Chains A and B, each alone.
Chain A
Amino acid sequence: MTKDELKEHITQFQPKAVFEETGEWLNVQVETGDWKPVAHWLRNGVLQMDYLFCLTCIHWPTAGKTPAAGNTADEGSGGIFMMVYHFTSTVFRHVLVVKVKLTSDHPEIETVSDIWRTAEFHEREVFDLFGVRFLHHPDLRRLVLTDDFEGHPLRKDFEDPVNMIKL
């Protein structure tokens, strides 16, 4: 499917979706609340996005100075977390990037580990390194760091005076 066809399908299902087409693949931004139904539809609907090949998060501590984050609304003072999901379909071979914006104050989002099982580990990793909470995740614990570790290292405002050298 071409980008335009993808766009058409997505707009039909989710008229509020915001598109961005500068990159290699079609980017879609959806609201946090809409995410779970959209995820279900992506997997089971016409697009057949059965393969979630990358799940990650980006932290923008100073939202407002970051047009790349596509921020239009007024975020909290702590900036935003951008969840990025890369999907592809093993049937149609089209790639879609879905972004969900979370506020730094309450980084919470519905898990998709029940739809794509690979998400279980990836979400644990994001929880570990960014502190994003995945609601209804079956086993949300730290994955790589020790359980008593303080802070989330991949956040931009993470400070570790011992192990990090300021360049």
Chain B
Amino acid sequence: MFSLETITNSIQQWLYSTFNPTMALILECAIVMLLVIGLFAVLGLVLVLMERKVAARMQIRLGPNRVGPRGMLQTAADTLKLMMKEGLTPDGADKFLFNLAPFIVMIAAMLIMAPIAFAKGFQIWDINIGVLYVSAVSSVSVIGILMAGWASNNKYSLLGAMRSGAQIVSYELSAGLSIISIVVLAGSLQVSDIIASQQTGWWLFRGHIPALIAFVIFIIAVTAETNRAPFDLAEAESELTAGFHTEYSGMRFALFFLAEYINIFIVCAIGATLFLGGWMPLHIGNWDDFNRIMDYIPSSLWFLGKTFCLIFLIMWFRWTFPRLRVDQLLSLEWKYLLPISMFNLLLITLIAIMGWHF
């Protein structure tokens, strides 16, 4: 059967048989970098188009439909436009930090790509603390946002950055606790192990109601962490014009924009990996025929399908809900989500110790 694993393996064998090991490793790194950057570009285009189409559907509009077939090239044209635009730097800005900030946000997003398993055996780096690595690196992007807000020398940006800082730091706790619940169930921090532990069923179903609660909290928390509506206070359009990226233009703005969508993809990929079995096909108990049919669907499709379902969910939130106020946002986290997820973690630990899960 067609699999990405065989392709990657044969490339690796060919590299190692043709070049010496150091050279092969360097070449491999180069290929991976190119792939990641390519994936970034493609994902950015696809997700922005998807967002616009989803938004249009929800708002009884048509959405982009002029550039290319059914408007598919719209985002490519937009990117071209953004590249042509002048990247302005405000007069009083801290030029170094101002220019650095978008790259930090972008690099943080790129780094999280490493442990994500896109398909069976198709993973950049199966590090043994994969999940921990993800939650650690994803915190770095807040530094970029704070930097952007501070360096712009604009009050809206500053307020947006401060909001963003408070928000991301708070919601990381809930997201982390939800991730830990699954780690407790799976018994490993390694992404491949977590996926393998869902061979017989996804944790969302196997972990009873506590896993469901953890999933809901996870989705809420990552929506907040990626600064998406209804938690988009950092860029709250009607309050702070564009929040931390008010002063950015051209390609630097595009990097922030792209990083936002990449972050959505990444958190949804993590969600799919932890709760929905990553690339693991849907298996139901001992319905062998059903399971065999499911196995015929390539693992990469499973992964992307699950991820895009979650992305759709997050887009759905954005186009239906009003925005929260900043104090409500923080009290939601500290007064409701955090205590609930702590208690939930206890329950899940109990389930894991007693072996009550399916």
Chain A in direct contact with chain B (Cβ < 8 angstroms): no
Which residues does B use to contact A, with CB under 8 Å?
none
